[in-house]
Amino acid sequence: MNYYSLNNIAPTTTFENAVIKGLAPDRGLYFPESITPLEPSFFETIETLSNDVIAFEAIKQFISPEIPEAILKTIISETLNFDFPVVNLTESISTLELFHGPTMAFKDVGARFMARCLGYFNKDNSNEVTVLVATSGDTGGAVANGFLGVKGVRVVILYPSGKVSTIQEKQLTTLGQNITALEVDGTFDDCQDMVKKAFLDEQLTSKMQLTSANSINVARWLPQLFYFMFAYKQLKQQHKTIVFSVPSGNFGNVCAGMIAQKLGLPIHHFIASNNDNNVVTRYLKSKSYDPKPSVQTVSNAMDVGNPSNFIRIQAIYKNEFETLKENLSSYSFTDEETKEALKEIYSTTNYIADPHGAVGYLGCKSYLKTNPEAHCVFLETAHPTKFLDVVEEVIPAEIPLPPQIQAVIDKQKVATEIKDYTAFKAFLTQL
């Protein structure tokens, strides 16, 4: 499979090069040249297949032939060694739990998959690869865990000071070894801008091999299509009209779900559920795409003012606004509405959601008002203990810390404070 830049200037390239480079030379995101639907029989019998088989059949066209099938199967098996349960809450609403991995967030899938792909490509390379990742919370922890100890790979994580939860911060600042954390005096957008600048800085790129582990990287983004298939596998027998409500920040998840749909997965509709960072909600109403600086909310992983992956979504729909709107709805919700939703979910179903899941739940409720025949699945993207300060404020229940959290909570944070790109560049040149 070849990949092309969505800026349409840089030449097409291989999966390997797209993974290693992260971003195309013309600053565009890489996108697969083609998407070939799977045979209808695959989805007709999907409930009989293991998750590993489903994932392999879904992803192999995007990877082959650069990673041998036997190795790809091993990568998948090592990536997906935890559960992806769908939990039914009401007759019309379920949640897909994506927090059973090592850092208890959905990003464990993409981070683990990418780490293993990069490890394979770098196995005979004497040059160290430096992975840069901007995080609004969960990406950093997942990437740190996924890449920990990977030979020939160094990871530098940028996160906004005071804008991630205590547990998220511990997960990305306490591992050591080949993982370094930079605490940025700014927002997630500032972190993301620094990473993008570094890729285009010839003084850096001439001296070191840089790549990204954000969802701009195809190896981080594409595997996120797996769990939409896993959810369908569990719901297929009970529901005909399945809709996914996706808490959306950088729009990698909903975009990956749309790729799954292009492969033939019978998803009826998508909902992009936003907090106050709602550029896409506004776009679908006005047809005007107007990014704004991000604002801080209780669902911090979604605090993205200019989502990188939305250009991929536009590419899927060939920039046809009306076609996109037929398949994507979007709603945005305030912090107060999010907290009320946490209370409502707990009081009516005894289920404890995290703030991002609560936003997804509200998206379901909004959609079901005019589409009562649908069954709506919201993504529970992280474990509620990662947001204890928010959850315990509104829910009268003590949430025990899972082992994954207990393992880091008492460790000493190690992070370097930086203020701007100049400081970031100076740090990288000293590595």
Q: Which amino acid is at 108?
A: D
The rounded distance, in Å, linking the Cα atoms of 262 and 222 is 13
The rounded distance, in Å, linking the Cα atoms of 157 and 366 is 36
| 267 within a domain of the structure (yes/no) | yes
Give mean pLDDT, residues 11-17: 96
| 287 within a domain of the structure (yes/no) | yes
Would you state the pLDDT for residue 414? 94
Would you state the pLDDT for residue 214? 79
Percent of the chain with pLDDT over 70: 100
Would you state the pLDDT for residue 399? 85
Per-residue pLDDT for 415 more than 90?
yes
Would you state the pLDDT for residue 136? 78
| 182 within a domain of the structure (yes/no) | no
The rounded distance, in Å, linking the Cα atoms of 359 and 381 is 11
| Inter-residue contact 214 to 253 (CB < 8 Å) | no
The rounded distance, in Å, linking the Cα atoms of 385 and 124 is 40
Each residue of 248-284: pLDDT tens digit? 999 999 999 999 999 999 999 999 999 999 999 999 9
Residues contacting residue 24 through CB under 8 Å, at least 6 positions apart: 5, 6, 7, 9, 10, 13, 18, 30
Lookup result for tokens 């199967």: 73
The rounded distance, in Å, linking the Cα atoms of 367 and 415 is 42
- Reported as a pLDDT band with limits 50, 70 and 90, residue 1 is very high
Would you state the pLDDT for residue 342? 97
| 253 within a domain of the structure (yes/no) | yes
Per-residue pLDDT for 430 more than 80?
yes
Each residue of 190-238: pLDDT tens digit? 998 999 899 889 999 999 989 888 788 999 999 999 999 999 999 999 9
The more confident residue out of 366 and 147 is 366
Return the CATH number at 228: 3.40.50.1100
| 345 within a domain of the structure (yes/no) | yes
Tokens of 354: 């995290």
The rounded distance, in Å, linking the Cα atoms of 94 and 96 is 7
| Inter-residue contact 347 to 284 (CB < 8 Å) | no
The percent of the chain in helix, strand and coil, each rounded to the nearest 5, is 45, 15, 40
The rounded distance, in Å, linking the Cα atoms of 287 and 325 is 10
| Integer angstrom CA distances of residue 251 from 109, 214, 269 | 16, 11, 15
Per-residue pLDDT for 87 more than 90?
yes
Would you state the pLDDT for residue 150? 85
45 burial via Cβ count (<10 Å: 0-12, 13-18, 19+): exposed
- The residues annotated with a catalytic role in the active site are 107
Q: Would the pTM of this model clear 0.75, i.e. be above it?
A: yes
The SS3 of residue 408 is helix
Would you state the pLDDT for residue 113? 96
Would you state the pLDDT for residue 396? 86
Would you state the pLDDT for residue 389? 86
| 117 within a domain of the structure (yes/no) | no
| 146 within a domain of the structure (yes/no) | no
DSSP one-letter code for 8: S
Range of the domain at 296: 83-103+221-401
| Inter-residue contact 218 to 62 (CB < 8 Å) | yes
Give mean pLDDT, residues 40-50: 97
380 beta partners: 97
Would you state the pLDDT for residue 86? 98
Give mean pLDDT, residues 5-10: 94
Residues contacting residue 158 through CB under 8 Å, at least 6 positions apart: 132, 133, 134, 135, 182, 184, 191, 194, 195, 418, 424
Would you state the pLDDT for residue 199? 87
Per-residue pLDDT for 145 more than 80?
yes
| Inter-residue contact 356 to 382 (CB < 8 Å) | yes
The overall average pLDDT reported for the chain is 94
How many domains does the chain fold into? 1
Would you state the pLDDT for residue 335? 98
Each residue of 115-138: pLDDT tens digit? 999 989 988 777 788 999 998 777
| 149 within a domain of the structure (yes/no) | no
